[in-house]
């Protein structure tokens, strides 16, 4: 039988906020704590602040009732049985994970503990973090029997975060004490028992009552490593197919065919074999760097990860060269850009390869009209509009009078454009697609020069029998 558990979630970003409303959706009572007063006020007022499917609806359903937002971590600690730490763990100057936000939270929790609590690492952290959190609690005077630290890494993807949280492939719980493991089992019981999926109005997804998600219980260290290893492996898959796409370009082969041929092998699988302009976002770049750094500190040769990063960095430069190959010189060229977010269906621009490409084009003297369905406001904070950079309200406005149109983010919206209208809008019908959203044959039939990743460049066939203009 599922029970209602009091949970604190510290951090109200992509992970914390989604976890908070999803725990409420599962039936628990949640206090979501953030030290950013502006954020807390916005959330209390019903503004979710981030672009996520189903999030506004869940926030509206539970805000100020089953999910309370506050800045007071001491109160949340006193009231709750489990405290999930979901603050940022950005990359430090040295390349490893900056754990200062996690430490600050641990110290604050330590000051308010009066009864047994389970402290849960939800943030992505390197192996041994649980030991540091434990040490930090003890140094702040908390008796060892008053807490346990467990690792419960989060695997949600931005854009589908709510359904990923409620329909996970697996729930990983790293706990070295049975008492703490039992609390986590109770928290996730609505999912692991399948109960949640039978409720009317439950959020749809891949799990159901007959096929609920498994909860994998491991040591805390293993759980910490599972998260870093998973992200590093996914990044590796992307870099691998990007390297293969370069090979395809050099041989006039077609990477889509190659990826399909590989992906049909059940040992490989089709996912994350989509070539592009490189991975980005707030996770893969920093997590690969942090994992590499952990290996280095332990004296383990994991240079494979250095290669993964190297290929990823080169991919953007190769794309710029592709633009140059289509336009010859770049200075003074007018470029339409579709996509600023690091991937489709999110407004997150952290480490976005699209933004890197835009910056490289601006540095080359291009002027840009950029459109993104959700990420313009965030982009403007780092790249304000200027005489050489305009933000426009739709894809056709980006194409208007441009020398070429670049597709930099795989938004679903960009796969369904009226390509004849785009052709009309462009000064020259050139599309350079960094996400392989279109079929080259179709583009050529509609009169485009179409360059994509790992596929032969496609040019409209010239009718050589037609009389020349001169």
Residue entry with tokens 């780092």: 382
Residue 42 or 444: the one with the smaller Cβ distance to ligand NAD is 42
* Helix, strand or coil, per DSSP, at residue 79: helix
CB of residue 439 to ligand NAD, shortest distance in Å: 30
CB of residue 223 to ligand NAD, shortest distance in Å: 13
Residue 95 or 460: the one with the smaller Cβ distance to ligand NAD is 95
Residue 37 or 418: the one with the smaller Cβ distance to ligand NAD is 37
All residues at 6 or more sequence positions from 321 whose CB lies less than 8 Å from its CB, including other chains: none
Residue 38 or 462: the one with the smaller Cβ distance to ligand NAD is 38
366 among known catalytic residues? no
All residues at 6 or more sequence positions from 252 whose CB lies less than 8 Å from its CB, including other chains: 456
Residue 25 or 224: the one with the smaller Cβ distance to ligand NAD is 224
CB of residue 129 to ligand NAD, shortest distance in Å: 10
CB of residue 282 to ligand NAD, shortest distance in Å: 5
Neighbours of 446 (CB within 10 A): 16
Residue entry with tokens 């609690």: 137
* Residue 69 DSSP label: E
Residue 2 or 44: the one with the smaller Cβ distance to ligand NAD is 44
CB of residue 121 to ligand NAD, shortest distance in Å: 9
35 to 49, 55, 104, 122, 125: CA distances (angstroms): 15, 21, 11, 17, 20
Euclidean distance between CA atoms 161 and 164, whole angstroms = 5
All residues at 6 or more sequence positions from 226 whose CB lies less than 8 Å from its CB, including other chains: 153, 172, 174, 218
Euclidean distance between CA atoms 6 and 83, whole angstroms = 9
Binding site for ligand NAD (CB under 6 A): 10-16, 33-36, 39, 86-89, 101, 104-105, 123-124, 154, 156, 158, 282-283
Residue 397 CA, distance from chain mean position? 27
Q: Are the C-beta atoms of 62 and 25 separated by less than 8 Å?
A: yes
Euclidean distance between CA atoms 153 and 331, whole angstroms = 46
CB of residue 34 to ligand NAD, shortest distance in Å: 4
* Residue 147 DSSP label: E
User: Angle formed by the axes of helices 303-327 and 284-297, to 10°?
Assistant: 150
CB of residue 131 to ligand NAD, shortest distance in Å: 18
* Helix, strand or coil, per DSSP, at residue 338: strand
Residue number of the CB closest to ligand NAD reads 13
Q: Tell me how many degrees the CA angle 327-332-349 measures, rounded to the nearest 5.
A: 80
Q: Are the C-beta atoms of 128 and 94 separated by less than 8 Å?
A: no
Spot the catalytic one: 80, 207, 248, 283: 283
CB of residue 373 to ligand NAD, shortest distance in Å: 18
Euclidean distance between CA atoms 323 and 20, whole angstroms = 43
Euclidean distance between CA atoms 146 and 118, whole angstroms = 9
Euclidean distance between CA atoms 335 and 14, whole angstroms = 32
Q: Are the C-beta atoms of 451 and 437 separated by less than 8 Å?
A: no
Euclidean distance between CA atoms 342 and 358, whole angstroms = 12
- The residues annotated as belonging to the active site are 283
């Amino acid at each position: 039988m599922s029970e209602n558990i009091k949970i604190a979630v510290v951090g109200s970003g992509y992970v914390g906020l989604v976890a908070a409303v999803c725990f409420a959706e599962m039936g628990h009572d949640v206090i979501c704590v953030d030290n950013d007063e502006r954020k807390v006020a916005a959330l209390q007022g019903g503004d979710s602040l981030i672009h996520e499917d189903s999030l506004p609806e869940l926030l509206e359903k539970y805000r100020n009732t089953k999910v309370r937002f506050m800045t007071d971590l001491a109160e949340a600690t006193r009231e709750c049985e489990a405290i999930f730490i979901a603050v940022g763990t950005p990359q430090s100057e040295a390349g490893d994970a900056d754990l200062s936000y996690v430490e600050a939270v641990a110290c604050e929790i330590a000051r308010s503990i009066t009864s047994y609590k389970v402290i849960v690492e939800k943030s992505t952290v390197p192996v041994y973090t649980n030991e540091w959190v434990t040490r930090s609690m003890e140094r702040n005077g908390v008796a060892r029997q008053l807490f346990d630290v467990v690792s419960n890494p989060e695997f949600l993807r931005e854009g589908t975060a709510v359904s990923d949280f409620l329909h996970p492939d697996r729930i990983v719980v790293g706990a070295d004490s049975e008492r703490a493991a039992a609390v986590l089992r109770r928290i996730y019981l609505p999912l692991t028992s399948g109960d949640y999926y039978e409720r009317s109005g439950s959020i749809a997804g891949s799990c159901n009552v007959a096929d609920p998600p498994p909860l994998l219980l491991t040591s805390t260290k293993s759980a910490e490593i599972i998260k870093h290893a998973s992200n590093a492996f996914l990044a590796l898959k992307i870099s691998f197919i990007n390297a293969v796409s370069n090979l395809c370009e050099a041989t006039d082969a077609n990477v889509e065919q190659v990826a399909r041929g590989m992906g049909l092998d059940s040992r490989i699988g089709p996912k994350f074999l989509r070539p592009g302009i490189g991975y980005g976002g707030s996770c893969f770049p920093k997590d690969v760097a942090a994992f590499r750094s952990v290996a280095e500190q332990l004296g383990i040769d994991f240079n494979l990860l250095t290669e993964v990063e190297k290929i990823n960095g080169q991919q953007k430069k190769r794309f710029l060269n592709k633009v140059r190959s289509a336009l010859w010189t770049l200075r003074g060229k007018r470029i339409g850009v579709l996509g600023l977010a690091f991937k489709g269906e999110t407004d997150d621009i952290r480490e976005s390869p699209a933004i890197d490409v835009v910056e490289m084009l601006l540095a080359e003297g291009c002027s840009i009209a950029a459109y993104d369905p959700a990420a313009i406001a965030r982009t403007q904070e780092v790249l304000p509009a200027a005489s050489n950079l305009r933000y426009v309200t739709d894809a056709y406005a980006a194409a208007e009078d441009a020398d070429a149109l670049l597709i930099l983010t795989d938004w679903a919206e960009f796969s369904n454009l009226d390509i004849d209208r785009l052709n009309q809008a462009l000064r020259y019908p050139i599309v350079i697609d960094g996400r392989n959203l279109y079929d080259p044959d179709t583009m050529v039939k509609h009169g485009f020069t179409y360059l994509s990743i790992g596929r032969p460049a496609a040019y409209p066939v010239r009718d050589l029998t037609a009389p020349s203009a001169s």
